[in-house]
Structure 1
């Protein structure tokens, strides 16, 4: 890693879990990453605003409670604006945050927050997000009623925010994950052999992650310590 890293404060990262899982589950999933990665960030994990309203796909693996950020069907996306307001409020009260990490549904949210911030439609009272880490993320699919109003133009301009995308060969959302990655100006890619999960990082994945972390350190910024805020890993 870059030589001056020890002299700098760790980037604070807000972590957003997947649909009908939880912050605790995402924390456990990320625990398979080595300390050489986890130790370079100050992670804060947030639960979604709504208790799960149906069966969770991880019930046989992880204990409840489970949460969701929003619901989507073929016609519409429900509670999206409320979800954004919830995250915005948390970032105001518990920030500042330098970056975002999102898994699955949380990855979708992490991808649009920099654009909503750029447009001035949300996150205007918090510092600019400097990077995103997206694991099995996706762009919201086309709906009969159209996208939520806040997302009408969110992908009209390439996302000028350094990003790293972890995409599994066996992930059922693989194609949508690649489509999302293409919307970023400076994407890094970690392709792994697994499915819809937080993968272990092999030698090549570690190399890419280290390059991404070097990129982050090159961004002009004044990282803040966030005294009194939890570091969850």
Structure 2
């Protein structure tokens, strides 16, 4: 009986580069019903309108947004501090949230959050994150991306926050996703055969995700 009335963990979700919360909502809808019914998702649009063409034009309707801007090789960032303030403000007004989920650019943001929280440089006015779900993620300050000032030490200590990572076999971000695992103490990983997307899960992957969900449901 207790299981049926169990509170659903609340998850704040961050979409990919030049997409939207609505688009991520559609993608997350591909996950198994057995997983979706146990979680409460809140899909947030990034604070800045897309500054250029979106890769999903013609597939998904606009508007499209981005979390922050950077130069072409992602070494210099603009508006990163504003992005963090925007997200924290939303978390204060609409939270509390138990954890965060991110896809692509949103996953890069999500992955850095526990470290920034631990450092006391961001997200200090909201409860400590209990878990992360990272789809096609990367590390700020990794081989592909520089680190904005506030995220400079986000990965300086091993991250003990429970995390579930999706890594696609044909995803161009696969090397970054694998490298990101080294920053986490005990990451749970789902490998899938698809590319840079939210995959439909086979039986074994679904089982892995359900186990992770059951674990986070038990957290106080």
Aligned equivalent of 1:37: 35
Root mean square deviation of aligned Cα: 1.6
Looking at structure 1, the residues matched to 127 and 60 of structure 2 have their Cα atoms a distance apart, in angstroms, of 34
Aligned equivalent of 1:10: 8
Say which structure, 1 or 2, has more relative contact order (CA 8 Å, 6+ apart).
1
Looking at structure 1, the residues matched to 173 and 147 of structure 2 have their Cα atoms a distance apart, in angstroms, of 19
Per-residue CA distance 1:37-79 (angstroms, 9 max, x = gap): 1110110000000000100001121010000001222340121
| Alignment TM-score, normalising by the size of structure 2 | 0.94
Matches within 5 A, 1:99-114: 99-114=99-114
| Larger CA deviation: 88-97 vs 5-14 | 5-14
Structure 2 portions without partners, runs of 5+: none
Cα distance change of structure 1 residues 50 and 190 upon mapping to structure 2, 3 Å threshold: same
The alignment of Structure 1 onto Structure 2 pairs a total of residues equal to: 217
| Alignment TM-score, normalising by the size of structure 1 | 0.89
Aligned equivalent of 1:93: 93
Structure 1 portions without partners, runs of 5+: 222-233
Judge conservation of contact 2:169–2:194 (CA < 8 Å) in 1.
yes
Looking at structure 2, the residues matched to 147 and 10 of structure 1 have their Cα atoms a distance apart, in angstroms, of 34
Aligned equivalent of 1:56: 54
Judge conservation of contact 1:5–1:217 (CA < 8 Å) in 2.
no
Aligned equivalent of 2:211: 211
